[in-house]
Amino acid sequence: MSDDKNLNDMLDDAKEKASEFAKEAKESASEFAEGAKETFVSNDNKKILAGVLGILFGGLGIHKFILGYNKEGGILLGATLVGILLTCVGVGILFVWIPGVVGFIEGIIYLTKSDAEFYNTYQVGKKPWF
């Protein structure tokens, strides 16, 4: 009988510990989810997305469209398209090359700024170029 009582006490302790562990795991998971939302889903700071797109597709102005600079993105895209059309003349290669370099430089600048500095400069301050 004493063995049954000890076994029941051990089972009760194990259930209580499992319940505490589950509660702590749920709290940790919710904290992680909140942190992930702030980091990855945040619409406030688009630094990494704009920086990578600027480096990879700078001539197309996609990084400008992401930040809401539609006029500046259109300028980069237009210059690239005009350059593509004029490549048969020979001068067009400059029109393709220059917007690509501008986008590449801007992408690097975006990624080297701190999050707060990027947010204040390009999203709050609306500085369109460099």
Evaluate whether 47 touches 111 at the Cβ level (below 8 Å).
yes
- pTM exceeding the 0.75 threshold for the entire prediction: no
Evaluate whether 103 touches 59 at the Cβ level (below 8 Å).
yes
Tens of pLDDT along 23-35? 887 777 677 667 6
CA-to-CA distance for 12 and 90, rounded, in angstroms?
83
What is the per-residue burial (b if ≥16 Cβ within 10 Å, else e) of 19-51?
A: eeeeeeeeeeeeeeeeeeeeeeeeeebbbeebb
Q: Where are the alpha helices (DSSP H) in 41-91?
A: 47-57, 62-67, 70-86
Please report, for the chain, the start and end positions of each structural domain, with discontinuous segments joined by +: 1-41, 47-124
Between helices 47-57 and 92-112, what is the axis angle to 10°? Answer: 150
CA-to-CA distance for 95 and 124, rounded, in angstroms?
30
Tens of pLDDT along 3-23? 666 777 777 777 788 778 778
